[in-house]
Chain A
Amino acid sequence: MIYGYYPGCSLEGASRPYDRSLRFVMTALGHELKELRDWNCCGATMYMSVKETVALSLSARNLALAERNGNTLVTPCSACYTMLLKTQRCMKELPGLRRQVDEALAEAGLSYRLGVQVRHPLDVIVNDIGVEAVARKAKRRLEGLRIAPYYGCQIVRPGPAFDDPDWPTSMDDLFGALGAECVYYPDRVRCCGGMLMTTDPKVGEELTQNVLDCAIRNGAQVVATTCPLCQMNLETLQARAHAREGAIPVVFFTQLLGLALGASGTEMDLHHSLVPLGARLEELAGAPS
Chain B
Amino acid sequence: MKANGDGRRIGFYICHCGSNIAATVDVAAVANHVAGLSGVAVSRHYAFMCSQPGQDMIARDIREERLDRVVVAACSPMMHELTFRNACQGAGLNRYLFQMANVREQCAWVHADRPAATEKAKSLARAAVARVAHQRPLEAATIPVNPDTLVIGGGIAGIQAALDLAEAGREVWLVERESTIGGNMARFDKTFPTLDCASCILTPKMVSVGHRKNVHILTQSQVEQVSGFAGSFEARVRKKARYVSDQCTACQECEKVCPVEVPNAFDLLLKKRKAIHKAFPQAVPNTYLIDKQERPPCREACPIGQEAAGYVALIGQGRFAEAAELIRMRNPLPVVCGRVCYHPCEAECNRGFVDEPVAIQHLKRFALDWQEKHSGGIPAPPPPTERRPEKVAIVGSGPAGLACAHDLATRGYRPTVFERDVVLGGMLALGIPRYRLPRERLLQDIDFIRRMGVEFRTGVEVGRDVTIGQLRKEGYKAFFVAAGAHVGVPLDVPGERLAGVMQGVEFLRRHALGIPPAVGRNVAVVGGGNTAVDAARTVLREGAEHVTILYRRTRAEMPAVEHEIADAEAEGVRFAYLRAPLEVLGEDGRVSGLRCVEMELGEPDASGRRRPVPVPGSEHTLSFDTVLVAIGQSPDLSLLGGEGLKLDRRGTLEANGETFATSVPGVFGGGDVVFGPATVIAAMGAGKRAAEAIDKYLRGEPLTDFHTHAVPTQIRRGESFRPHPYAPPYTQTPKRPRQAMPKLPAPDRAQGWEEVELGFTEEQAVAEAQRCLHCGVCVDCYQCVKACQPGAVDHAMKDEVLDLKVGQVLVTTGYDLFDPRRMAQYGYGRLDNVVTSLEFERMLASTGPTGGRLALKNGEEPRAVAIVHCVGSRDENYHRYCSRVCCMYALKFAHLVHDRTRAAVYEFYIDMRAYGKGYEEFYGRVLAEGVNVIRGKVAEVFAAPDAPPGEGHLIVRAEDTLLGKQREIPVDMVILCCALEPAQGIEALRRTLHLSQSPDGFLLERHPKLDPTGTASDGIFVAGCAQGPKDIPDTVAQASAAASRMLGLIARGEIAVDPIKARVEPELCGGCRICNNVCPYNAIRWLEDEKVAEVLDAVCKGCGTCVAACPAGAITGLGFSDEQIYAEIDGLLGTPEAASRVPTTLEARP
Direct contact of A and B (CB under 8 A): yes
The answer to whether A166 touches B942, judged by C-beta atoms less than 8 angstroms apart, is no
A residues less than 8 Å from B942 (CB atoms): 184, 186
The 8 A CB mask of A217-238 against B (1 = contact, 0 = none) is 1110000000000000000000
Given contacts A186-B940, A186-B957, contact A218 B823 (CB under 8 A): no
Query: Whose C-beta in chain B lies nearest to the C-beta of A185?
Result: B945
Residue B386, interface by CB 8 Å:
no
Residue A164, interface by CB 8 Å:
yes
Residue B440, interface by CB 8 Å:
no
Residue A47, interface by CB 8 Å:
no
- Per the 8 Å Cβ criterion, residues 915-953 of B in contact with A are 940, 942, 945-946
The answer to whether A164 touches B957, judged by C-beta atoms less than 8 angstroms apart, is no
A residues less than 8 Å from B945 (CB atoms): 185, 217-219
The answer to whether A164 touches B940, judged by C-beta atoms less than 8 angstroms apart, is no
Residue B1017, interface by CB 8 Å:
no
The answer to whether A166 touches B825, judged by C-beta atoms less than 8 angstroms apart, is yes
The answer to whether B824 touches A166, judged by C-beta atoms less than 8 angstroms apart, is yes
B residues less than 8 Å from A217 (CB atoms): 945-946
B residues less than 8 Å from A185 (CB atoms): 945
CA distance A191 to B942 in the complex (A): 18
CA distance A185 to B957 in the complex (A): 12
A residues less than 8 Å from B957 (CB atoms): 186
The answer to whether A166 touches B946, judged by C-beta atoms less than 8 angstroms apart, is no
The 8 A CB mask of B210-229 against A (1 = contact, 0 = none) is 00000000000000000000
Query: Whose C-beta in chain A lies nearest to the C-beta of B823?
Result: A166
Most chain B beta-carbon neighbours within 10 Å: one of A184, A186, A218, A219: A186
B residues less than 8 Å from A186 (CB atoms): 940, 942, 955, 957
Most chain B beta-carbon neighbours within 10 Å: one of A164, A167, A218: A167
Shortest B958–chain A CB gap in Å is: 12
**A interface secondary structure, majority:** loop
The 8 A CB mask of B102-114 against A (1 = contact, 0 = none) is 0000000000000
Shortest A212–chain B CB gap in Å is: 14
- Per the 8 Å Cβ criterion, residues 216-263 of A in contact with B are 217-219
Shortest A172–chain B CB gap in Å is: 12
The 8 A CB mask of B808-834 against A (1 = contact, 0 = none) is 000000000000000111000000000
CA distance A150 to B584 in the complex (A): 76
CA distance A185 to B943 in the complex (A): 10
CA distance A108 to B823 in the complex (A): 46
Shortest B149–chain A CB gap in Å is: 45
Shortest B935–chain A CB gap in Å is: 21
Shortest A207–chain B CB gap in Å is: 11
CA distance A186 to B945 in the complex (A): 10
A residues less than 8 Å from B946 (CB atoms): 217
CA distance A164 to B824 in the complex (A): 9
CA distance A218 to B944 in the complex (A): 9
B residues less than 8 Å from A184 (CB atoms): 942
CA distance A219 to B946 in the complex (A): 10
A residues less than 8 Å from B824 (CB atoms): 164, 166-167
Query: Whose C-beta in chain A lies nearest to the C-beta of B876?
Result: A158
Query: Whose C-beta in chain A lies nearest to the C-beta of B942?
Result: A186
Query: Whose C-beta in chain B lies nearest to the C-beta of A210?
Result: B966
A residues less than 8 Å from B825 (CB atoms): 166-167
A residues less than 8 Å from B955 (CB atoms): 186
CA distance A203 to B384 in the complex (A): 91
The 8 A CB mask of B70-95 against A (1 = contact, 0 = none) is 00000000000000000000000000
Shortest B966–chain A CB gap in Å is: 9
CA distance A166 to B824 in the complex (A): 7
CA distance A218 to B955 in the complex (A): 14
CA distance A217 to B945 in the complex (A): 7
The 8 A CB mask of A161-189 against B (1 = contact, 0 = none) is 00010110000000000000000111000
Shortest A244–chain B CB gap in Å is: 17
B residues less than 8 Å from A166 (CB atoms): 823-825, 940
The 8 A CB mask of B946-979 against A (1 = contact, 0 = none) is 1000000001010000000000000000000000
- Per the 8 Å Cβ criterion, residues 1020-1044 of B in contact with A are none
B residues less than 8 Å from A218 (CB atoms): 945
CA distance A166 to B942 in the complex (A): 13
CA distance A248 to B946 in the complex (A): 18
Query: Whose C-beta in chain A lies nearest to the C-beta of B946?
Result: A217
CA distance A252 to B1142 in the complex (A): 81
A residues less than 8 Å from B940 (CB atoms): 166, 186
CA distance A125 to B823 in the complex (A): 25
Shortest B824–chain A CB gap in Å is: 4
Shortest A257–chain B CB gap in Å is: 25
CA distance A48 to B426 in the complex (A): 91
CA distance A145 to B955 in the complex (A): 26
B residues less than 8 Å from A164 (CB atoms): 824
CA distance A102 to B299 in the complex (A): 70
Shortest B959–chain A CB gap in Å is: 12
Query: Whose C-beta in chain B lies nearest to the C-beta of A217?
Result: B945
CA distance A219 to B945 in the complex (A): 9
Query: Whose C-beta in chain B lies nearest to the C-beta of A183?
Result: B945
Most chain A beta-carbon neighbours within 10 Å: one of B942, B945, B946: B945
Shortest B822–chain A CB gap in Å is: 10
Query: Whose C-beta in chain B lies nearest to the C-beta of A186?
Result: B942
Shortest B467–chain A CB gap in Å is: 70
Shortest B917–chain A CB gap in Å is: 38
B residues less than 8 Å from A167 (CB atoms): 824-825
Shortest B678–chain A CB gap in Å is: 43
CA distance A167 to B823 in the complex (A): 8
CA distance A184 to B945 in the complex (A): 9
- Per the 8 Å Cβ criterion, residues 771-825 of B in contact with A are 823-825
CA distance A5 to B795 in the complex (A): 67
Query: Whose C-beta in chain B lies nearest to the C-beta of A219?
Result: B945
B residues less than 8 Å from A219 (CB atoms): 945
Query: Whose C-beta in chain A lies nearest to the C-beta of B827?
Result: A167
Shortest A151–chain B CB gap in Å is: 13
Shortest A170–chain B CB gap in Å is: 14
CA distance A164 to B877 in the complex (A): 12
Query: Whose C-beta in chain A lies nearest to the C-beta of B968?
Result: A186
Query: Whose C-beta in chain B lies nearest to the C-beta of A164?
Result: B824
CA distance A167 to B945 in the complex (A): 18
The 8 A CB mask of A1-15 against B (1 = contact, 0 = none) is 000000000000000
CA distance A219 to B955 in the complex (A): 17
CA distance A35 to B278 in the complex (A): 68
Shortest B971–chain A CB gap in Å is: 15
CA distance A186 to B826 in the complex (A): 11
CA distance A166 to B957 in the complex (A): 13
Query: Whose C-beta in chain B lies nearest to the C-beta of A160?
Result: B877
CA distance A184 to B824 in the complex (A): 13
CA distance A184 to B942 in the complex (A): 9
Most chain B beta-carbon neighbours within 10 Å: one of A166, A217, A218: A166
Shortest B128–chain A CB gap in Å is: 34
Shortest B818–chain A CB gap in Å is: 16
Shortest B831–chain A CB gap in Å is: 11
CA distance A164 to B945 in the complex (A): 23
Query: Whose C-beta in chain A lies nearest to the C-beta of B825?
Result: A166
CA distance A218 to B957 in the complex (A): 16
CA distance A233 to B942 in the complex (A): 26
CA distance A136 to B844 in the complex (A): 51
CA distance A250 to B39 in the complex (A): 84
Shortest B622–chain A CB gap in Å is: 46
CA distance A217 to B825 in the complex (A): 19
The 8 A CB mask of A77-94 against B (1 = contact, 0 = none) is 000000000000000000
Using a CB–CB cutoff of 8 Å, the interface residues on chain B facing chain A are: 823-825, 940, 942, 945-946, 955, 957
Known: A166-B823, A186-B942, A186-B955. 12 other contacts (CB 8 A): A164-B824, A166-B824, A166-B825, A166-B940, A184-B942, A185-B945, A186-B940, A186-B957, A217-B945, A217-B946, A218-B945, A219-B945
11 A-B pairs within 8 Å (CB atoms) are namely A166-B824, A166-B940, A167-B825, A184-B942, A186-B942, A186-B955, A186-B957, A217-B945, A217-B946, A218-B945, A219-B945
What are the nearest 8 A-B pairs in CB distance?
A: A167-B824, A166-B825, A218-B945, A186-B942, A167-B825, A217-B945, A164-B824, A186-B940
